[in-house]
Amino acid sequence: MRSVAMLKNGLSQSFSIQPTWTVESVKQVRYHVIAVNDLFDPSETALLRACPEAPLAAGDRRLVVIDSNVATLHGDRIAAWFTANGVDATILVVHADETVKDWESVTRVVDKMNEFGIDRRREPVIAIGGGVLLDVVGFATSLYRRGTPYIRIPTTLVGLVDAGVGVKTGVNYERGKNRIGTYAPAIATFADRTFLRTLDDRHLANGLAEILKLALVKSAELFTLLQKFGPELIADHFQGTTPQTDQAARQVVTEAIHLMLEELQPNLWETTLERCVDYGHTFSPVLEITALPGLLHGEAVCIDMALTSVLGFRRGDVSGAELDQILSVMTQLRLPIWDEVLTRPGILDAALADTVRHRDGQQRLPLPLGIGRHRFVNDVTPAELAAGLDHLAAAAAQRIGDKFADAG
């Protein structure tokens, strides 16, 4: 068949028996992650001026969606800030944790946007909360009128270094973690450590798991910082009450955001499925959803990292001393390296099979190379997983035994 392609007003058209038009367009993405100290301090104006795409001024109105726990702990201060700045804030308080990361929560936000009659260009929804709230609001705004701008204000450590800085939104569906969602960047994220003051230790550790992930695959320096300051950062809630912890908290959060964005920017739409930020996320989605509400996201990620560090050791990529350091830092950060959910027959094979479907037919499994580097493998077998699991069980049991021995 004769076919001649030509460009007509920028559109390519080929002449054949069936004329065919090929449309190509690139969507430019630009968003800001802005570190702020105490965003809702009465004298702080970052939210008014720091985001050129969405300037906020007295007389404007905004829809503000707040996680219910954050509303209880910080709601008065937040409302007072909007009042003091003459912004008419309609506040929607939403219960947001993993058990309600679902369609119903999305619908509540969409209903409120509809009732508010949001201007889809000039009135970004302001989302304030943890990773769940940010994912739910991001998803709802990306659906409403096929895309309405939003601003993220994370209030958990996971939100600050992970859920708040990328472009993914979504909710769980049936037994599938984040099974439905979109790629929808917020126009800006304000990273403010002061919210962590009220976050409990378990959720601080949960966020440290995502930071540890980046350290293990990308930065031995960050690993050393966690090793040195991790327990103090939890005790201090990242508030920097001494000059030393202030510097450590600043450094750990800044470095984690930087390392994450460095990985995300060239691969925002996950064109490449070999992503080192998926370290710890091969087995954890199924572990987390199966154990729900027993394991937090970061806890499931940490168990996955403990297992894959063992796999790395058994392949000769991680030394015995390095494995020991990795498992010790996990324990120091109060993260689990084992959970009973691992003993469910076939759970690891099922989790790997699910991930292979998600990664276009291949394992693309990031494994650590020492501390601070990684490689991808595609040849993990059920036998290797079973041996790795036995190894991890023994290492975890020994650590628990050591803890009791120390206490005695």
Ligand X SMILES: NC(=O)c1ccc[n+]([C@@H]2O[C@H](COP(=O)([O-])OP(=O)(O)OC[C@H]3O[C@@H](n4cnc5c(N)ncnc54)[C@H](O)[C@@H]3O)[C@@H](O)[C@H]2O)c1
In the complex, which residues of this chain contact ligand X (CB under 6 A)? Answer: 67, 69-70, 73, 96-98, 101, 129-133, 135, 155-156, 158-159, 162-163, 166, 168, 178, 195, 198-199, 203, 206, 297
Min. distance of Cβ 270 from ligand X in angstroms?
11
Residues 6+ apart with CB under 8 A from 249: 193, 229, 233, 236, 238, 239, 240
Question: Residue 3 burial (CB < 10 Å; 0-12/13-18/19+)?
Answer: exposed
Question: Residue 76 burial (CB < 10 Å; 0-12/13-18/19+)?
Answer: exposed
Would you state the structure tokens that stand for residue 36, as one six-digit string? 């702020």
Is 62 or 203 the residue whose CB approaches ligand X more closely?
203
Is 38 or 97 the residue whose CB approaches ligand X more closely?
97
Residues designated catalytic:
168
Min. distance of Cβ 228 from ligand X in angstroms?
24
Strands across the sheet containing 11-15 = 4-8, 11-15, 20-22
Would you state the structure tokens that stand for residue 256, as one six-digit string? 């984690």
Please state, in angstroms and rounded to a whole number, the distance separating the CA atoms of residues 171 and 177.
7
Is 196 or 306 the residue whose CB approaches ligand X more closely?
196
By residue count, the chain amounts to: 408
403 in helix, strand or coil? helix
Is 129 or 368 the residue whose CB approaches ligand X more closely?
129
- Could you tell me if 167 and 29 are in contact, meaning their C-beta atoms sit under 8 angstroms apart? yes
Is 148 or 388 the residue whose CB approaches ligand X more closely?
148
Min. distance of Cβ 327 from ligand X in angstroms?
22
Query: Which residue has tokens 């987390």?
Result: 288
- Could you tell me if 245 and 232 are in contact, meaning their C-beta atoms sit under 8 angstroms apart? yes
Is 351 or 389 the residue whose CB approaches ligand X more closely?
351
**What residue type is assigned to position 159 of the chain?**
G
Min. distance of Cβ 200 from ligand X in angstroms?
7
Min. distance of Cβ 138 from ligand X in angstroms?
7
Min. distance of Cβ 343 from ligand X in angstroms?
24
Is 95 or 399 the residue whose CB approaches ligand X more closely?
95
Q: Which residue is nearest to ligand X (CB)?
A: 131
Run of H or E including 32:
strand 32-35
- Could you tell me if 80 and 42 are in contact, meaning their C-beta atoms sit under 8 angstroms apart? yes
Residues 6+ apart with CB under 8 A from 343: none
Q: Of 293, 297, 292, which is closest to residue 335 (Cα–Cα)?
A: 297
Please state, in angstroms and rounded to a whole number, the distance separating the CA atoms of residues 392 and 389.
5
199 in helix, strand or coil? coil
91 in helix, strand or coil? strand
Min. distance of Cβ 129 from ligand X in angstroms?
6
Q: Of 81, 138, 75, 74, which is closest to residue 106 (Cα–Cα)?
A: 138
Is 68 or 325 the residue whose CB approaches ligand X more closely?
68
Rg (CA), the chain: 23
